[in-house]
Structure 1
Amino acid sequence: MSEHLDHVARIQQAWARERPDLDVRPQGVIGRLHRLAEHLTGQLAVVYQRYGLGEGEFDVLATLRRAGEPFERAPGELAAFTMVTTGAMTKRIDRLERDGLVTRRRSARDGRGRVVALTPAGRKLIDQAFTEHMSNERRLLDHLTPEEAARLESLLTTWLARFETPLPPDA
Protein backbone atom coordinates (compact mmCIF):
# COMPACT_ATOMS: atom_id res chain seq x y z
CA MET A 1 0.00 0.00 0.00
CA SER A 2 2.73 2.51 0.91
CA GLU A 3 4.24 2.29 -2.60
CA HIS A 4 1.19 4.28 -3.80
CA LEU A 5 1.67 7.04 -1.24
CA ASP A 6 3.39 10.26 -2.20
CA HIS A 7 6.41 11.55 -0.29
CA VAL A 8 4.35 13.67 2.10
CA ALA A 9 1.92 10.83 2.84
CA ARG A 10 4.86 8.55 3.70
CA ILE A 11 6.22 11.19 6.10
CA GLN A 12 2.79 11.64 7.68
CA GLN A 13 2.42 7.90 8.06
CA ALA A 14 5.79 7.64 9.81
CA TRP A 15 5.00 10.53 12.16
CA ALA A 16 1.57 9.11 12.92
CA ARG A 17 3.27 5.86 13.90
CA GLU A 18 5.97 7.57 15.97
CA ARG A 19 3.85 10.35 17.49
CA PRO A 20 0.23 9.17 17.54
CA ASP A 21 -0.44 11.92 20.08
CA LEU A 22 -0.01 14.62 17.38
CA ASP A 23 -2.34 15.58 14.55
CA VAL A 24 -0.09 15.43 11.50
CA ARG A 25 -2.82 16.33 8.99
CA PRO A 26 -1.48 19.89 8.48
CA GLN A 27 1.58 18.32 6.82
CA GLY A 28 -0.73 17.13 4.07
CA VAL A 29 -1.30 20.71 2.95
CA ILE A 30 1.85 22.51 4.10
CA GLY A 31 4.24 19.75 3.06
CA ARG A 32 2.69 19.42 -0.38
CA LEU A 33 2.64 23.19 -0.92
CA HIS A 34 6.30 23.36 0.08
CA ARG A 35 7.29 20.53 -2.26
CA LEU A 36 5.18 21.95 -5.08
CA ALA A 37 6.80 25.38 -4.62
CA GLU A 38 10.24 23.79 -4.96
CA HIS A 39 9.20 22.01 -8.18
CA LEU A 40 7.62 25.17 -9.61
CA THR A 41 10.59 27.37 -8.70
CA GLY A 42 12.93 24.98 -10.48
CA GLN A 43 10.73 24.96 -13.58
CA LEU A 44 10.38 28.75 -13.59
CA ALA A 45 14.12 29.29 -13.12
CA VAL A 46 14.80 27.49 -16.41
CA VAL A 47 13.26 30.42 -18.29
CA TYR A 48 15.05 33.05 -16.18
CA GLN A 49 18.39 31.35 -16.80
CA ARG A 50 17.74 31.20 -20.54
CA TYR A 51 17.79 35.01 -20.45
CA GLY A 52 20.82 35.22 -18.16
CA LEU A 53 18.70 36.23 -15.17
CA GLY A 54 18.13 34.96 -11.67
CA GLU A 55 14.67 35.09 -10.12
CA GLY A 56 15.55 38.36 -8.37
CA GLU A 57 16.76 40.10 -11.50
CA PHE A 58 13.71 38.91 -13.40
CA ASP A 59 11.50 40.38 -10.64
CA VAL A 60 13.23 43.77 -10.82
CA LEU A 61 12.92 43.98 -14.60
CA ALA A 62 9.29 42.82 -14.50
CA THR A 63 8.44 45.37 -11.78
CA LEU A 64 9.98 48.17 -13.83
CA ARG A 65 8.25 47.01 -17.02
CA ARG A 66 4.78 46.79 -15.49
CA ALA A 67 5.23 50.28 -13.99
CA GLY A 68 4.51 51.63 -17.48
CA GLU A 69 6.21 54.58 -19.15
CA PRO A 70 8.87 55.72 -18.28
CA PHE A 71 9.54 52.25 -16.74
CA GLU A 72 11.21 53.48 -13.57
CA ARG A 73 10.90 53.28 -9.80
CA ALA A 74 12.84 54.33 -6.73
CA PRO A 75 15.03 51.52 -5.29
CA GLY A 76 12.92 51.48 -2.11
CA GLU A 77 9.75 50.93 -4.15
CA LEU A 78 11.44 48.10 -6.02
CA ALA A 79 12.43 46.51 -2.71
CA ALA A 80 8.87 46.80 -1.37
CA PHE A 81 7.24 45.47 -4.55
CA THR A 82 9.61 42.50 -4.77
CA MET A 83 9.65 41.89 -0.99
CA VAL A 84 13.43 41.97 -0.46
CA THR A 85 15.71 44.09 1.69
CA THR A 86 17.19 47.27 0.29
CA GLY A 87 20.63 45.63 0.54
CA ALA A 88 19.54 42.71 -1.61
CA MET A 89 17.91 45.14 -4.03
CA THR A 90 21.15 47.13 -4.36
CA LYS A 91 23.00 43.95 -5.41
CA ARG A 92 20.36 43.13 -8.00
CA ILE A 93 20.39 46.65 -9.41
CA ASP A 94 24.22 46.66 -9.52
CA ARG A 95 24.21 43.51 -11.64
CA LEU A 96 21.44 44.71 -13.95
CA GLU A 97 23.19 48.06 -14.39
CA ARG A 98 26.49 46.31 -15.15
CA ASP A 99 24.69 44.26 -17.82
CA GLY A 100 23.18 47.40 -19.39
CA LEU A 101 19.59 46.47 -18.53
CA VAL A 102 18.86 49.35 -16.12
CA THR A 103 20.26 52.78 -15.32
CA ARG A 104 20.40 54.69 -12.05
CA ARG A 105 20.10 58.45 -11.79
CA ARG A 106 19.10 61.13 -9.34
CA SER A 107 15.38 61.76 -9.06
CA ALA A 108 14.13 64.89 -10.82
CA ARG A 109 11.54 65.36 -8.02
CA ASP A 110 13.96 64.83 -5.15
CA GLY A 111 17.64 65.49 -5.82
CA ARG A 112 18.66 63.21 -2.94
CA GLY A 113 16.60 60.26 -4.18
CA ARG A 114 17.58 57.79 -6.87
CA VAL A 115 15.57 56.31 -9.71
CA VAL A 116 16.15 53.00 -11.48
CA ALA A 117 14.93 52.79 -15.08
CA LEU A 118 14.83 50.12 -17.76
CA THR A 119 17.15 50.67 -20.70
CA PRO A 120 15.87 49.81 -24.19
CA ALA A 121 17.90 46.57 -23.95
CA GLY A 122 16.31 45.82 -20.57
CA ARG A 123 12.83 46.40 -21.93
CA LYS A 124 13.47 44.16 -24.92
CA LEU A 125 14.87 41.41 -22.70
CA ILE A 126 12.05 41.48 -20.15
CA ASP A 127 9.40 41.56 -22.86
CA GLN A 128 10.88 38.40 -24.41
CA ALA A 129 11.51 36.71 -21.05
CA PHE A 130 8.04 37.55 -19.71
CA THR A 131 6.36 36.19 -22.83
CA GLU A 132 8.19 32.89 -22.38
CA HIS A 133 7.57 33.00 -18.61
CA MET A 134 3.79 33.22 -19.17
CA SER A 135 3.94 30.34 -21.64
CA ASN A 136 5.88 28.32 -19.06
CA GLU A 137 3.38 29.13 -16.31
CA ARG A 138 0.54 28.08 -18.63
CA ARG A 139 2.34 24.78 -19.30
CA LEU A 140 2.71 24.17 -15.56
CA LEU A 141 -0.88 25.10 -14.77
CA ASP A 142 -2.17 22.87 -17.56
CA HIS A 143 -1.49 19.91 -15.25
CA LEU A 144 -4.82 20.95 -13.70
CA THR A 145 -8.20 21.28 -15.36
CA PRO A 146 -9.48 24.85 -15.73
CA GLU A 147 -11.98 24.14 -12.93
CA GLU A 148 -9.27 22.76 -10.61
CA ALA A 149 -7.06 25.77 -11.34
CA ALA A 150 -9.92 28.19 -10.58
CA ARG A 151 -10.74 26.42 -7.29
CA LEU A 152 -7.08 26.38 -6.29
CA GLU A 153 -6.64 30.07 -7.13
CA SER A 154 -9.70 30.95 -5.04
CA LEU A 155 -8.47 28.95 -2.04
CA LEU A 156 -4.95 30.33 -2.26
CA THR A 157 -6.26 33.89 -2.64
CA THR A 158 -8.36 33.51 0.50
CA TRP A 159 -5.54 31.95 2.51
CA LEU A 160 -2.86 34.40 1.35
CA ALA A 161 -5.10 37.38 2.16
CA ARG A 162 -5.10 36.26 5.78
CA PHE A 163 -1.32 36.68 5.90
CA GLU A 164 -0.69 39.74 3.75
CA THR A 165 -1.61 43.40 3.80
CA PRO A 166 -2.68 44.43 0.31
CA LEU A 167 -0.15 46.45 -1.71
CA PRO A 168 -1.20 49.56 -3.61
CA PRO A 169 -2.98 48.69 -6.89
CA ASP A 170 -0.02 49.76 -9.07
CA ALA A 171 2.36 47.26 -7.47
Structure 2
Amino acid sequence: MHTPELLRRIDRDWRAACPTLDPTPMRRIIALRRAASILGQAVESVYAHSGLNSPAFDLLLTLRRSGPTEGLAPGELAALMAVAPASVTNRIDRLEARGLVVRDLDPHDRRSWRVRLTQAGHALINELLPLHVQNEARLLAALSEDEQALLEDLLVRLTHAAETARAADEGSQ
Protein backbone atom coordinates (compact mmCIF):
# COMPACT_ATOMS: atom_id res chain seq x y z
CA MET A 1 0.00 0.00 0.00
CA HIS A 2 1.40 3.40 -0.94
CA THR A 3 2.03 5.81 1.90
CA PRO A 4 -0.74 8.37 1.16
CA GLU A 5 -3.33 5.58 0.98
CA LEU A 6 -1.94 3.93 4.12
CA LEU A 7 -2.07 7.19 6.08
CA ARG A 8 -5.66 7.87 5.01
CA ARG A 9 -6.62 4.34 6.07
CA ILE A 10 -4.90 4.66 9.45
CA ASP A 11 -6.59 8.01 10.04
CA ARG A 12 -10.02 6.65 9.05
CA ASP A 13 -9.60 3.48 11.15
CA TRP A 14 -8.54 5.38 14.28
CA ARG A 15 -11.38 7.88 13.93
CA ALA A 16 -13.84 4.98 13.69
CA ALA A 17 -12.27 2.92 16.48
CA CYS A 18 -11.73 5.81 18.88
CA PRO A 19 -13.71 8.92 17.82
CA THR A 20 -12.37 11.11 20.64
CA LEU A 21 -8.74 10.46 19.70
CA ASP A 22 -6.95 12.73 17.24
CA PRO A 23 -4.63 10.39 15.28
CA THR A 24 -2.75 13.25 13.58
CA PRO A 25 0.47 12.92 15.66
CA MET A 26 0.58 9.16 15.05
CA ARG A 27 -0.06 9.62 11.33
CA ARG A 28 2.76 12.16 11.04
CA ILE A 29 5.27 10.01 12.92
CA ILE A 30 4.29 7.01 10.78
CA ALA A 31 4.89 9.13 7.67
CA LEU A 32 8.28 10.20 9.01
CA ARG A 33 9.30 6.64 9.94
CA ARG A 34 8.11 5.27 6.62
CA ALA A 35 10.03 7.96 4.74
CA ALA A 36 13.17 7.20 6.76
CA SER A 37 12.85 3.48 6.03
CA ILE A 38 12.17 3.80 2.30
CA LEU A 39 14.80 6.50 1.78
CA GLY A 40 17.29 4.52 3.87
CA GLN A 41 16.84 1.49 1.64
CA ALA A 42 17.29 3.63 -1.47
CA VAL A 43 20.47 5.18 -0.05
CA GLU A 44 21.88 1.77 0.93
CA SER A 45 21.37 0.46 -2.60
CA VAL A 46 24.40 2.49 -3.74
CA TYR A 47 26.92 0.74 -1.50
CA ALA A 48 25.27 -2.58 -0.63
CA HIS A 49 26.86 -4.23 -3.68
CA SER A 50 30.25 -3.42 -2.10
CA GLY A 51 29.36 -5.52 0.94
CA LEU A 52 28.86 -2.46 3.14
CA ASN A 53 25.96 -1.74 5.45
CA SER A 54 24.91 1.73 6.64
CA PRO A 55 27.02 1.72 9.83
CA ALA A 56 30.17 0.66 7.95
CA PHE A 57 29.58 3.17 5.15
CA ASP A 58 29.01 5.91 7.74
CA LEU A 59 32.35 5.09 9.40
CA LEU A 60 34.18 5.21 6.06
CA LEU A 61 32.47 8.49 5.16
CA THR A 62 33.37 9.95 8.55
CA LEU A 63 37.04 9.02 8.15
CA ARG A 64 37.04 10.44 4.61
CA ARG A 65 35.33 13.66 5.69
CA SER A 66 36.86 14.33 9.10
CA GLY A 67 39.90 12.11 9.48
CA PRO A 68 43.34 13.67 9.29
CA THR A 69 46.13 11.67 7.67
CA GLU A 70 47.01 10.04 10.99
CA GLY A 71 43.38 9.07 11.55
CA LEU A 72 40.95 9.55 14.42
CA ALA A 73 40.73 8.04 17.86
CA PRO A 74 37.80 5.64 18.21
CA GLY A 75 36.14 8.01 20.68
CA GLU A 76 36.37 10.86 18.18
CA LEU A 77 34.86 8.62 15.52
CA ALA A 78 31.99 7.69 17.84
CA ALA A 79 31.31 11.35 18.65
CA LEU A 80 31.36 12.39 14.98
CA MET A 81 29.04 9.51 14.10
CA ALA A 82 26.76 10.11 17.13
CA VAL A 83 26.95 6.46 18.22
CA ALA A 84 28.19 4.52 21.22
CA PRO A 85 31.95 3.80 21.30
CA ALA A 86 31.29 0.04 21.57
CA SER A 87 29.47 0.01 18.23
CA VAL A 88 32.39 1.83 16.59
CA THR A 89 34.80 -0.84 17.81
CA ASN A 90 32.68 -3.51 16.14
CA ARG A 91 32.59 -1.58 12.88
CA ILE A 92 36.33 -0.96 12.97
CA ASP A 93 36.97 -4.68 13.51
CA ARG A 94 34.90 -5.63 10.46
CA LEU A 95 36.37 -2.96 8.21
CA GLU A 96 39.90 -3.76 9.34
CA ALA A 97 39.33 -7.43 8.49
CA ARG A 98 38.36 -6.29 4.97
CA GLY A 99 41.49 -4.15 4.67
CA LEU A 100 39.55 -0.88 4.45
CA VAL A 101 40.80 0.68 7.70
CA VAL A 102 43.82 0.20 9.89
CA ARG A 103 44.54 0.93 13.55
CA ASP A 104 47.85 2.55 14.43
CA LEU A 105 49.25 3.41 17.82
CA ASP A 106 48.76 7.08 18.59
CA PRO A 107 52.22 8.68 18.35
CA HIS A 108 51.32 11.09 21.15
CA ASP A 109 49.75 8.53 23.50
CA ARG A 110 50.99 4.95 23.27
CA ARG A 111 47.90 3.76 25.17
CA SER A 112 45.59 4.93 22.37
CA TRP A 113 44.85 3.98 18.80
CA ARG A 114 44.10 6.01 15.70
CA VAL A 115 41.91 4.65 12.92
CA ARG A 116 42.52 5.66 9.32
CA LEU A 117 41.48 4.61 5.86
CA THR A 118 43.80 2.26 4.00
CA GLN A 119 44.56 2.84 0.33
CA ALA A 120 41.80 0.32 -0.50
CA GLY A 121 39.40 2.13 1.85
CA HIS A 122 40.20 5.47 0.21
CA ALA A 123 39.71 3.98 -3.26
CA LEU A 124 36.36 2.43 -2.32
CA ILE A 125 34.95 5.53 -0.66
CA ASN A 126 36.19 7.76 -3.49
CA GLU A 127 34.43 5.46 -5.97
CA LEU A 128 31.17 5.37 -4.01
CA LEU A 129 31.01 8.99 -2.83
CA PRO A 130 29.90 10.62 -6.12
CA LEU A 131 27.32 7.86 -6.68
CA HIS A 132 26.04 8.33 -3.12
CA VAL A 133 25.64 12.10 -3.50
CA GLN A 134 23.98 11.74 -6.91
CA ASN A 135 21.56 9.18 -5.49
CA GLU A 136 20.65 11.40 -2.55
CA ALA A 137 20.13 14.38 -4.88
CA ARG A 138 17.85 12.19 -7.02
CA LEU A 139 15.85 11.16 -3.95
CA LEU A 140 15.41 14.79 -2.88
CA ALA A 141 14.51 16.00 -6.38
CA ALA A 142 10.78 15.65 -5.64
CA LEU A 143 11.19 18.83 -3.55
CA SER A 144 12.35 22.26 -4.69
CA GLU A 145 15.55 23.71 -3.22
CA ASP A 146 13.47 25.88 -0.86
CA GLU A 147 11.41 22.87 0.23
CA GLN A 148 14.57 20.84 0.80
CA ALA A 149 16.01 23.63 2.97
CA LEU A 150 12.73 23.88 4.89
CA LEU A 151 12.62 20.10 5.36
CA GLU A 152 16.17 20.12 6.72
CA ASP A 153 15.34 22.98 9.10
CA LEU A 154 12.17 21.28 10.33
CA LEU A 155 13.92 17.92 10.85
CA VAL A 156 16.78 19.58 12.75
CA ARG A 157 14.30 21.44 14.97
CA LEU A 158 12.25 18.30 15.57
CA THR A 159 15.34 16.21 16.35
CA HIS A 160 16.80 18.88 18.63
CA ALA A 161 13.55 19.08 20.59
CA ALA A 162 13.48 15.29 21.01
CA GLU A 163 17.16 15.22 22.07
CA THR A 164 16.55 18.01 24.56
CA ALA A 165 13.52 16.21 26.00
CA ARG A 166 15.48 12.95 26.27
CA ALA A 167 18.36 14.68 28.04
CA ALA A 168 15.91 16.30 30.47
CA ASP A 169 14.26 12.94 31.12
CA GLU A 170 17.62 11.26 31.72
CA GLY A 171 18.72 14.12 33.99
CA SER A 172 15.63 13.79 36.17
CA GLN A 173 16.19 10.09 36.85
1:70 counterpart SS class: coil
1:6 matched to 2:2? The reply is no
**Structure 2 alignment gaps of length 5 or more:** 165-173
Amino acid paired to 2:79 = A
2:103 counterpart SS class: strand
**Contact 1:73–1:116 (CA under 8 A) maintained in structure 2:** yes
Task: Decide whether aligned partners of structure 1 residues 16 and 127 sit closer, same or farther in structure 2, where only a CA change above 3 A counts.
Answer: same
Give the alignment's TM-score, normalised by structure 1: 0.86
1:48 matched to 2:47? The reply is yes
**Contact 1:64–1:118 (CA under 8 A) maintained in structure 2:** yes
Aligned-pair Cα RMSD in Å: 2.0
- The structure 1 segments of at least 4 consecutive aligned residues displaced by more than 6 Å after TM superposition are none
1:140 matched to 2:139? The reply is yes
1:150 matched to 2:149? The reply is yes
Question: Separation in 1 of the partners of 2:3 and 2:67?
Answer: 49
Fraction of identical pairs, as percent: 41
Give the alignment's TM-score, normalised by structure 2: 0.85
1:163 counterpart SS class: helix
Amino acid paired to 1:111 = R
2:109 counterpart SS class: coil
Question: Separation in 1 of the partners of 2:60 and 2:67?
Answer: 12
The correspondence of residues 2-151 of structure 1 with structure 2, limited to 5 A, is 6-70=5-69, 72-151=71-150
**Structure 1 alignment gaps of length 5 or more:** 166-171
Matched residue, 1:168 = none
Task: Decide whether aligned partners of structure 1 residues 118 and 4 sit closer, same or farther in structure 2, where only a CA change above 3 A counts.
Answer: closer
**Contact 1:97–1:103 (CA under 8 A) maintained in structure 2:** yes
**Contact 2:78–2:84 (CA under 8 A) maintained in structure 1:** yes
1:43 Cα deviation after fit: 0.3
Question: Separation in 2 of the partners of 1:72 and 1:158?
Answer: 32
1:6 counterpart SS class: helix
Deviation digits for residues 95-128 of structure 1 (CA, Å, limit 9, x no counterpart): 1111111101211111111111111111111122
Question: Separation in 1 of the partners of 2:24 and 2:163?
Answer: 24
1:84 Cα deviation after fit: 2.5
Question: Separation in 1 of the partners of 2:3 and 2:109?
Answer: 62
Greater percentage in helix: 2
Amino acid paired to 2:76 = E
